Amino acid sequence: MSQPLLAFAQPSPAAAPFATLYYLFRSEAPVVEGIERADIGQIRFMLNGAGSVTFPDGRCERSTPVMIHGPGTGAARYRVEGPFHCFGVALRPIGWGALVGLPAHERADHLTDGATIFGDGMVALIDRLRAVDDVEAMKAIVEPALLAHARPIPDAHHRLAEAVRQWLASDGPICVDGLFARVALSPRQVTRWVNHYFGAPPKFLERKFRAVRAASDLVEGADPAEVAGRFYDQSHMIREIRHFTGHTPGTLASAIDPVLALTLQSTAFNELAPVTAPPHAAG
Q: Splitting the chain (283 residues) into consecutive groups of 10 residues, what average pLDDT does each group show?
A: 80 95 93 90 96 97 97 95 94 97 97 97 96 96 97 95 91 84 91 97 94 88 88 93 91 68 63 65 40
Class of the 5-149 domain?
A: mainly beta
pLDDT reported for residue 172 = 72
- Please tell me the distance from the alpha carbon of residue 262 to that of residue 24, in angstroms, as a whole number: 13
pLDDT reported for residue 59 = 97
- Please tell me the distance from the alpha carbon of residue 66 to that of residue 1, in angstroms, as a whole number: 27
pLDDT reported for residue 258 = 61
Strands 31-36 and 76-91, sheet pairing: antiparallel
Domain residue spans of the chain: 5-149, 155-263
- Please tell me the distance from the alpha carbon of residue 185 to that of residue 180, in angstroms, as a whole number: 8
pLDDT reported for residue 190 = 95
Residue 138 vs residues 88, 179, 235, 276: alpha-carbon distances, Å: 10, 37, 43, 22
pLDDT reported for residue 280 = 46
Task: Report the CATH fold assignment for 155-263.
Answer: Arc Repressor Mutant, subunit A (1.10.10)
